[in-house]
């Protein structure tokens, strides 16, 4: 008989659960400005450390320091702040609209606004994003009309997607926003394919792929890394590590083994971790990776370290699985507050100006909502014609569908 002890399965657990007092003092937050800024044609192996540290620009005193600083001027930063506040105002209104029964569902980006807002500024018209459902900032920081986003959320008569997609699953080819899939991770590899096509055609456009840290466990994440690295695709692969995948903490997708960024190293993909709550750092790293892709040096993997302050979606109650104080104890702070403080310290912004901007944006959002609601809401039509249910399944409607439409009397 064996004298071995019975085995037991290791199942990682987050450090804090409801009722616990979160203490993040053991989370290592490197000093702002400490990370070097390599040339864009660097080899993955030469910047291994950047996959384990966190690139930060704004320090705790509210200064921008180090080699990744000074890439944006004051006006650009004020615009960035405005973009983030717009996203926040938009989210708050639409969350409310969902609570009022005007739509079925909503997903906010509270706490993560800097990532999409800053990243979009590094892109050029014609580039294509393959986003997840938490990158509304990619649209709200560009000239995409808010009303159209709301029309989509309400599935109303003016919904560009004819009421076919869950709220927030926007799409606009013109604005470089690929149609969002409800199936996690599938689009990570599609973005790589788009980038490969751009390279095949000798184009100058690049693609970005987006994924949550929980979804990196999906096969398509790994397919994307192997394709991107094999063909040196002009793509930026973004992991948004907001610590939580619904109620599942990030440890379930990786164990405690390594950072998410470090997964790129095995593929020879330069991989960086960035403070996702630092607008300046996100922009600087995005610009570096975008320039790299456009110059033909291939893919970059970026892990944006952030925290999902809100619920996963309107169907979620985070107080059931995590400590109430976790969001406010999170050591990287609030991206809006941080950029605001930074600009105030620089003497180019004030609380009064901030307040005024906030009010103006809230009014803009409210005005857009009024416009959108003229086209109807989910339960209070009008909607697109039911006959459109049969459209766009195929380029031309096949006989069996024509018969079904006829039978339906549409």
Partner 1 sequence: MSRMTMIQAIRSGMDNAMEKDDNVVVFGEDVGFFGGVFRCTQGLQEKYGRQRCFDAPISESGIVGAAIGMAAYGIRPCVEIQFADYMYPAYDQITQEASRIRYRSANDFTVPIVVRMPTGGGIFGGQTHSQSPEALFAHVSGIKTVIPSNPYDAKGLLISAIEDEDPVMFLEPKRLYNGPFDGHHDRPVTPWSKHEFGEVPDDYYTVPLGKAAVRREGADVTVLVYGTMVYVAEAAAEEAGVDAEIIDLRTILPLDLEAIEESVRKTGRCVIVHEATKTCGFGAELMAVVAESCFYHLEAPIIRVTGYDTPYPHAHEWEYFPGPKRVGDALKKVMEAA
* Minimum distance from residue 125 beta carbon to ligand TPP (Å): 27
Residues in contact with partner 1, counted by CB under 8 A, come to a total of 49
- Sole binder of ligand TPP in the list 209, 215, 229, 384 (CB under 6 A): 215
259 binds, among ligand TPP, partner 1, none (CB under 5 to 8 A by kind): none
Q: Assess 389 for contact with ligand TPP (CB under 6 A).
A: no
Q: Assess 45 for contact with ligand TPP (CB under 6 A).
A: no
The angle formed by the CA atoms of residues 18, 167 and 102, to the nearest 5 degrees, is: 85
Compare residues 33 and 214 and give the one whose CB is closer to ligand TPP: 214
* Minimum distance from residue 235 beta carbon to partner 1 (Å): 9
Determine the Cα–Cα distance for residues 387 and 382; give it in Å rounded to an integer. 14
The verdict on whether omega for the bond into residue 382 sits within 30 degrees of 0, i.e. cis, is yes
Site for ligand TPP in 281-320 (CB under 6 A): 308, 312
Q: Assess 150 for contact with partner 1 (CB under 8 A).
A: no
CB-based burial label for 291 (10 Å; 0-12, 13-18, 19+)? middle
Q: Which of 111, 112, 141, 146 is nearest to 129 (CA)?
A: 141
Site for ligand TPP in 165-194 (CB under 6 A): 182-184
* Minimum distance from residue 254 beta carbon to partner 1 (Å): 21
Q: Assess 134 for contact with ligand TPP (CB under 6 A).
A: yes
Q: Assess 196 for contact with partner 1 (CB under 8 A).
A: yes
Determine the Cα–Cα distance for residues 94 and 100; give it in Å rounded to an integer. 9
* Minimum distance from residue 178 beta carbon to partner 1 (Å): 7
Compare residues 321 and 390 and give the one whose CB is closer to partner 1: 390
Question: For the chain, what is the radius of gyration of the CA atoms?
Answer: 22
Q: Assess 322 for contact with ligand TPP (CB under 6 A).
A: no
Binding map of partner 1 across residues 45-64, x = CB under 8 A, - = no contact: --------------------
Compare residues 171 and 252 and give the one whose CB is closer to partner 1: 171
Site for ligand TPP in 233-272 (CB under 6 A): 240, 242, 244-246
Site for partner 1 in 111-140 (CB under 8 A): 128, 130
CB-based burial label for 29 (10 Å; 0-12, 13-18, 19+)? middle
Q: Assess 93 for contact with ligand TPP (CB under 6 A).
A: no
Determine the Cα–Cα distance for residues 302 and 165; give it in Å rounded to an integer. 28
* Residues contacting residue 356 through CB under 8 Å, at least 6 positions apart: none
CB-based burial label for 369 (10 Å; 0-12, 13-18, 19+)? buried
Q: Are 305 and 273 in contact (CB under 8 A)?
A: yes
Q: Assess 198 for contact with partner 1 (CB under 8 A).
A: yes
- Which span sits near partner 1 by CB under 8 A: 36-44, 165-173, 290-298, 307-315? 165-173
Q: Assess 398 for contact with partner 1 (CB under 8 A).
A: yes
Compare residues 226 and 246 and give the one whose CB is closer to ligand TPP: 246
Determine the Cα–Cα distance for residues 148 and 180; give it in Å rounded to an integer. 16
98 binds, among ligand TPP, partner 1, none (CB under 5 to 8 A by kind): none
Determine the Cα–Cα distance for residues 224 and 237; give it in Å rounded to an integer. 9
Determine the Cα–Cα distance for residues 75 and 56; give it in Å rounded to an integer. 21
* Minimum distance from residue 104 beta carbon to partner 1 (Å): 16
- Sole binder of partner 1 in the list 59, 104, 179, 375 (CB under 8 A): 179
Compare residues 17 and 222 and give the one whose CB is closer to partner 1: 222
Dihedral sign for Cα 170, 304, 84, 280, please: negative
256 binds, among partner 1, ligand TPP, none (CB under 5 to 8 A by kind): none
**Site residues (vs partner 1, CB under 8 A):** 128, 130, 160-162, 164-165, 169, 171-173, 178-179, 181, 183, 186-198, 200-201, 207, 219-220, 222-224, 226-227, 230, 391-396, 398-400, 403
Using CB under 6 A, list all residues that contact ligand TPP.
Answer: 134, 182-184, 212-215, 240, 242, 244-246, 308, 312
């Amino acid at each position: 008989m064996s004298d071995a002890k019975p085995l037991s399965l290791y199942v990682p657990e987050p450090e804090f659960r409801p009722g616990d007092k979160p203490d993040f003092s053991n989370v290592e937050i490197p000093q702002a400005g400490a990370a070097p800024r390599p040339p864009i044609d660097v080899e993955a192996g030469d910047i291994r450390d950047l996959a384990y540290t966190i690139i930060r620009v704004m320090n705790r005193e509210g200064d921008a320091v180090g080699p990744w600083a000074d890439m944006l001027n004051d006006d650009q930063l004020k615009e960035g702040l405005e973009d983030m506040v717009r996203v926040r105002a938009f989210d708050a209104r639409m969350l409310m609209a969902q609570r009022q029964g005007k739509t079925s569902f909503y997903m906010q980006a509270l706490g993560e606004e800097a990532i999409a807002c800053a990243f979009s500024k590094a892109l050029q018209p014609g580039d294509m994003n393959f986003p997840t459902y938490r990158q509304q900032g990619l649209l709200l920081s560009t000239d995409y009309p808010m009303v159209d986003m709301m029309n989509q959320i309400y599935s109303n008569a003016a919904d560009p997607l004819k009421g076919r997609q869950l709220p927030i699953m926007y799409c606009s080819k013109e604005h470089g926003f690929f149609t969002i899939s409800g199936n996690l991770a599938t689009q990570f590899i599609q973005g790589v394919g788009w980038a490969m096509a751009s390279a095949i055609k000798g184009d100058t456009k690049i693609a970005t792929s987006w994924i949550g840290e929980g979804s990196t466990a999906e096969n398509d994440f790994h397919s994307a890394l192997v394709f991107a690295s094999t063909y040196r695709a002009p793509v930026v692969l973004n992991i948004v590590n907001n610590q939580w995948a619904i109620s599942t903490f990030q440890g379930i997708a990786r164990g405690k083994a390594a950072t998410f960024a470090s997964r790129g190293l095995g593929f020879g993909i330069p991989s960086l971790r960035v403070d996702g709550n630092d607008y300046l750092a996100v922009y600087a790293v995005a610009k570096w990776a975008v320039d790299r892709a456009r110059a033909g040096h291939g893919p970059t993997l970026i892990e944006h370290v952030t925290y999902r302050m809100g619920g996963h979606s309107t169907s979620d109650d985070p107080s059931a699985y995590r400590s109430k104080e976790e969001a406010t104890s999170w050591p990287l702070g609030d991206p809006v507050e941080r950029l605001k403080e930074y600009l105030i310290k620089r003497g180019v912004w004030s609380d009064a100006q901030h307040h005024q901007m906030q009010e103006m944006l809230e009014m803009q959002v409210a005005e857009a909502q009024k416009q959108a609601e003229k086209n109807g809401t989910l339960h209070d039509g009008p909607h697109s014609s039911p006959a459109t249910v049969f459209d766009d399944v195929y380029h031309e409607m096949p006989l069996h569908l024509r018969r079904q439409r006829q039978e339906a009397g549409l």
